[in-house]
Structure 1
Amino acid sequence: MRPLGIEGAWVDTPRVFTDGRGRFHEWFKGETFHGSTGQGFGLAQANCSRSVRGTLRGIHYAAVPPGQAKYVTCVSGAVLDVVVDIRTGSPSFGTWEAVRLDDTTHRCLYLSEGLGHAFMALENNSTVVYLCSQPYAPRREYGINPLDPALGIAWPEDLVPLLSDKDAMAPTLVEAERQGLLPSYGECDAYRRSLVTAPVGQPRG
């Protein structure tokens, strides 16, 4: 695992074993995760989504604490996966990083609590699975418009974004900040630090 430029986000490129029968790789290993992040990851929910080419999901996040950390990979097809720093007071507030996740490299992306997450399907039937540290809780879930021009996320120009009504109507980053909907860097950092010494397998939060 290697850290991205946004604090609290990592990308993992696993070793893939290939022979005449097919392929095998470990897409999550608690010991490796803990060794890289210093945190435990308690699995509360596992999600799977399949999308047609051009589908754009996000930017989603949950209120902190406890937030919702995610460990994401693409098991079929390909997606452009994006992490957005929406934590007010963060040195990298308003910035984003994109990682291609696909069924060839089997890269995984980890986003800690308080970071925004979005992805666009680059192929039909692109299937994304992700582990979540907390269960889905509608009253704590929020969104930012992924086409916010101020964020300027470089989505593929050859694709027409297909959004849900909810995502299309989500506020811009500035609007969400004005409404007091964004997590603060201090709250997220304090919560993440409380998990640093958690042993492998211990639930988070």
Structure 2
Amino acid sequence: MSEERSAFDWETRFAAEDTPWERPGLHPAMLAWVEAGELEPGARVIIPGCGRSPELGFLAARGLEVTGADLSATALAFQRQAVETAGHGAALLEGDVLAHRPDTPYDRVYEQTFLCAIPPRLRVDYERALCDWLRPGGHLLALFMQKDVAGGPPYGCALPAMRELFPAQRWIWPDDDSFIAWPHPSLTGKPELAGILVRR
């Protein structure tokens, strides 16, 4: 997603430390997925809209092949310093991640609410990119923001809308009751529904 495709100035917000969407520490859904064996050493994973999230360095330290992407040069400079200081490696992509097409498909996408950050008009482009990024059988580790009020970011990602966006022809869905709601501590407790979709 390029700056031209987003009305939200992410770089200015990161540079000004005006980032209320950032969580303190690792997302509990990430820890649950690690415990469930979803993120094993050697797996290739991409984090679109990685920002300054600690998950990138955490997965690199676990031995995963991690790619982080963001529009913000400030956020990526933070990630670069963090992984280098820790003695790990990660690929970092600055710019329009929706145009990214890897030479080798990924095993996992950690969807840490990137979907709720992009304008809804770009969601179809994102779903197509996800299909291109993931190998058949690859997993989308999704966090769908639940929000009743219009506008954003964050934009609400209600499950009925997500089922239309990620159709059964291309994605295997879990049962709706398997989604776990994780309230966001900084965004008035808005829940993020965590679930895993499998690319057919």
Per the TM superposition, whether the score is higher than 0.5 is: no
Q: TM-score normalized by structure 2?
A: 0.28
Q: Which has the higher helix share?
A: 2
- Pick 1 or 2: higher relative contact order, CA cutoff 8 A, min separation 6: 1
Q: TM-score normalized by structure 1?
A: 0.28
Q: Which has the higher strand share?
A: 1
